[in-house]
């Protein structure tokens, strides 16, 4: 992103989240959407705890983010209900009350990492990826719901991708995981909204050069293709972070059960002039 635009975002504050408290899952390094969301939430007046699995915390630099945002880090495996219960209890103790926002930014595919094609999956890998990327979201929601840990009009957001609706061959079993994730958001979101006035949504982001995204086969070529397709160009991690901040704020109190797009318009384009010109040259 152009540094002038980045500087504008980071120097323009609206106090959208002043007094709000939350949990941010999945911050790993400065390229991650969760990391940039944490920075923006901090600038908008929100306070939070950061969480990730211990192995990811060792690989990343989450302690640096915690220091700059004044956050406490609580290790938790999002596939473990026991870990999640401890996380939520500790978060409420650290933050001094119930929670207003949660970001689920977790995803991985062992099949992708191991180079297994979608038509030749190792189903142990498939199950592990599903548990981490999708079922973990249900577990997070269930723990928050049972503990009544969310304040009324709180907001929970998970990150998705439009491969949940359309075919992207090299996205592999992550497409299935994202479809399940979005279904959980709608189904659990109904009960959360009806009974506790809590919003649950997913955001489908442009292909983004995070550590997880870059592991997808042909990623560099696809991000270039998406850039040519989207009339506004690809949305950056920071663009997505800004969208998440708005979804956490009181400005979106009646938005729930939605899969929202942060992709420069890519999701509504059949073909662009730039892509057509590439074929004309051939």
Residue among 161, 180, 243, 261 flagged as catalytic: 161
190-194, 251-255, 268-272: least confident range: 268-272
Is 171 catalytic? The answer is yes
**What's the rounded Cα separation, in Å, for the pair 183 and 177?**
10
pTM of the predicted model as reported, rounded to 2 decimal places: 0.92
For range 201-217, the mean pLDDT: 78
Question: Per-residue confidence at 13, pLDDT binned at 50, 70, 90?
Answer: confident
Residues 6+ positions from 265 with CB-CB distance below 8 Å: 230, 231, 232
Handedness of CA 78, 181, 219, 32 (dihedral sign): negative
The answer to whether the annotation marks 32 as part of a ligand binding site is yes
Tens-digit pLDDT profile for residues 93-143: 999 999 999 999 999 999 999 999 999 999 999 999 999 999 999 999 999
Give residue 245's domain range.
3-281
The answer to whether the annotation marks 193 as part of a ligand binding site is no
Q: How many C-beta neighbours within 10 Å does residue 220 have?
A: 11
**What's the rounded Cα separation, in Å, for the pair 278 and 270?**
15
Residue among 171, 180, 243, 261 flagged as catalytic: 171
Is 123 catalytic? The answer is no
Q: CA angle at residue 214 from 213 to 218, to 5 degrees?
A: 105
In this structure, what CATH number is given to the domain that contains residue 160?
A: 3.40.50.720
For range 58-70, the mean pLDDT: 91
Pairing of strands 72-73, 259-262: unpaired
Number of domains in the chain: 1
């Amino acid at each position: 992103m152009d540094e002038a635009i980045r500087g504008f975002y980071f120097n323009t504050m609206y106090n959208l989240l002043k007094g709000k408290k939350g949990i941010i899952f999945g911050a790993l390094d400065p390229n991650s959407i969760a990391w940039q969301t944490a920075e923006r939430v901090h600038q908008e007046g929100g306070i939070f705890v950061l969480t990730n699995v211990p192995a990811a915390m060792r690989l990343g630099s989450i302690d640096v983010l915690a220091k700059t945002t004044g956050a406490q880090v609580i290790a938790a495996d999002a596939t473990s209900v026991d870990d999640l219960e401890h996380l939520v209890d500790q978060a409420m103790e650290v933050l001094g009350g119930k929670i207003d926002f949660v970001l689920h930014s977790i995803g991985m595919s062992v099949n992708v990492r191991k180079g297994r094609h979608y038509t030749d999956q190792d189903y142990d890998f498939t199950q592990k990826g599903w548990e981490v990327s999708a079922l973990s979201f249900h577990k997070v929601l269930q723990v928050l719901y049972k503990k009544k840990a969310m304040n009324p009009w709180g907001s929970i957001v998970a990150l998705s991708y439009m491969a949940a609706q359309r075919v992207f061959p090299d996205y592999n079993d992550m497409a299935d995981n994202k479809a399940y994730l979005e279904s959980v958001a709608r189904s659990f979101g109904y009960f959360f909204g009806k009974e506790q006035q809590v919003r649950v949504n997913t955001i489908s982001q442009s292909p983004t050069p995070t550590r997880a995204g870059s592991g997808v086969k042909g990623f560099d070529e696809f991000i270039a293709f998406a850039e040519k397709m989207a009339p506004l160009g690809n949305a950056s991690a920071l663009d997505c972070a800004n969208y998440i901040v708005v979804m956490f704020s009181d400005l979106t109190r009646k938005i729930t059960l939605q899969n929202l797009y942060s992709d420069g318009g890519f999701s509504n384009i059949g073909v662009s002039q730039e892509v057509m010109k590439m074929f004309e040259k051939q």
